[in-house]
Amino acid sequence: MGDWTIGIIGGSGLYQIDSLEDAQWIRVNSPFGEASDEILCGRIGNVKLRFLPRHGRGHRIPPSEVNARANIDALKRAGCTDILAISSVGSLREELEPGSFVVVDQFIDRTSKGQGARPSTFFGTGMVAHVSMAEPVCERLSGFAASAVEKAGGKVAKGGTYLAMEGPQFSTRAESHLYREWGADVIGMTAMPEAKLAREAEMPYALVGMVTDYDCWREDAAFVEVSEVIAQMQSNGDIARAAVEHFIAGLPKTRKVSPLDTVLDHAVITPPDARDPQMLARLDAVAGRIL
């Protein structure tokens, strides 16, 4: 049992939390490099919030260059117990129309793991760990999030599979059809490896997708353009900001322990006498509980 400290990762369309009290931007250094921005720290009522704009203020950072490791590590260092991520997505289903919301419950990861800012784990040589991603989001947080969107006046689908693509280009029509055949419901560029890293850092994670467009699978419709996405983002952003307030208001006064708080208990395979001290030093926040 304890207090909530909610990390909000705001994607395209959500760059600030207007209702935050005692707000101040604080730089949090990470051994994994530069986070996307400083963290806006404050509270709504008695709940502490830590807001991080995923692309930086001014939307400066493209999806493939978002340093998700630094972002998650910085939020952990800022005291976050749980993470609510909000992100714009394209729809791969007719019923998920632009302007609606999807609380995601599964992912297909098609991001690149080569050079760039997308390493998908905090661990490596000298400290090996394998966390389960069978159920990649927190059911408890996702339920609170879906209820919050409804209270904010949004239409929300409870559950959906998010296809994470590399970007920054949008899909080809052939890719869009393929992803539909795979069972994906929405498509975006940033939820992976973010969700995997949150799991490794033992922070329960939920994702609200704000639908901006129909991608390009509809043969009789125009393909997606940035101008269309921006216009819909602005409309979605108003509901998303209200949803954050309802989300906070709907949290129980006391945070009950989650099974996701201790996933590393069953994930680390490297015995203590074989662990690399330099690797352990970088993991002081992410895995400090078990080190």
Specify which residues 107 forms β-bridges with: 162
What's the pLDDT at 114?
A: 52
Residue 45: which of 81, 14, 4, 10 has the closest Cα?
Answer: 4
Q: Is 215 a catalytic residue?
A: yes
What's the whole-model pTM score?
0.94
Instruction: Give residue 61's pLDDT.
Output: 94
Give the per-residue pLDDT at 224: 66
Q: Which regions of the chain are under pLDDT 70?
A: 11-16, 113-117, 221-227, 229
Task: Report the alpha-carbon distance of residue 253 to residue 282 in Å, rounded.
Answer: 33
Cα separation, 174 vs 49, whole angstroms: 41
Question: Which domains are assigned to the chain?
Answer: 84-282 (3.40.50.1580)
DSSP 170: P
Contact 69, 33 (CB under 8 A): yes
Catalytic site residue from 213, 220, 238, 261: 213
Per residue in 58-79, pLDDT (tens digit) is: 889 999 999 999 999 999 999 9
Cβ neighbours for 1, distance < 8 A, ≥ 6 positions apart: 254, 255, 256, 257
Looking at residue 223, its pLDDT comes to 65
> For residue 20, what pLDDT is reported?
84
213 catalytic? Reply is yes
Query: Among the options 37, 82, 109, 215, which is catalytic?
Result: 215
- The confidence score (pLDDT) of residue 111 equals 93
> Are the beta carbons of 181 and 103 closer than 8 angstroms?
no
Look at residues 264, 260, 283, 265 and name the one whose alpha carbon lies nearest to residue 83.
Answer: 260
- pLDDT score, position 236: 78
